[in-house]
Structure 1
Amino acid sequence: MIRSELVAAVAEMHPHLSHKDAERVVATVFESIVQALADGRRVELRGFGAFSTRDRDARIGRNPRTGEQVEVDAKRVPHFKAGKELRERLNPGG
């Protein structure tokens, strides 16, 4: 599912919202998650999962085109852990 399909699903599920309002809802949710992660906070959506960040150390990488070694800076990367209900819906009976 892509973002436009998500907006369409929200608009369909809530007919009192215009398409533009549904876009604002989706954008606000995404922006809130991104801002919380940027601030170093964790975002937990019960039954769905939790978004957090992980630190990656600096390392020596390799340019795949030339084979040349390059330095890769330390960075924070997003991480998602699926919640119990999501895992159970993906793997019923198991």
Structure 2
Amino acid sequence: MNKTELIEYIAKKSDISKAAAARALDSMIEGVKVTLKKGGTVTLIGFGTFAVTKRPARTGRNPRTGASIKIKAAKVPKFRPGKGLKDALN
């Protein structure tokens, strides 16, 4: 399912226009981004938790040349599924 299909699904299930569903989805995504950028977490009970983790700097290899390269430290988003989501899949 891509974003357009998700918007159509939300609009149909919520009995709202596709434009309103798109605004709602975009607002939700923006809220998650802003919260993660501040270092917080977003927990949706029954669905899962979005959080930020730190990946340390490390040394890697260029696959083409085999030369060693330095990879900078980075903050990366993580998603941990909640019990409700896990149970729905099994």
Taking structure 2 as the reference length, what is the TM-score of the superposition?
A: 0.94
**Count of residue correspondences:** 90
1:51 Cα offset (Å): 0.6
Structure 1: state its 5+ residue gaps.
none
Code of the residue aligned with 1:81 in structure 2: it is: R
1:21 Cα offset (Å): 1.1
CA distance in structure 2 between the aligned counterparts of 1:13 and 1:88, rounded to whole angstroms: 22
CA distance in structure 1 between the aligned counterparts of 2:67 and 2:22, rounded to whole angstroms: 44
Structure 1 residue 10 corresponds to structure 2 residue 10:
yes
CA distance in structure 2 between the aligned counterparts of 1:26 and 1:53, rounded to whole angstroms: 21
Taking structure 1 as the reference length, what is the TM-score of the superposition?
A: 0.90
Q: Secondary structure at the match of 1:53?
A: strand
Q: CA RMSD in A?
A: 0.9
CA distance in structure 2 between the aligned counterparts of 1:75 and 1:35, rounded to whole angstroms: 17
1:18 Cα offset (Å): 1.6
Structure 2: state its 5+ residue gaps.
none
CA distance in structure 1 between the aligned counterparts of 2:57 and 2:10, rounded to whole angstroms: 41
After superposing on structure 2, the runs of 4+ consecutive aligned residues of structure 1 that deviate more than 3 Å are none
Q: Give the equivalent residue in structure 2 for 1:49.
A: 48
1:16-38 deviations in whole A, cap 9, x for unaligned? x2211111001000110111101
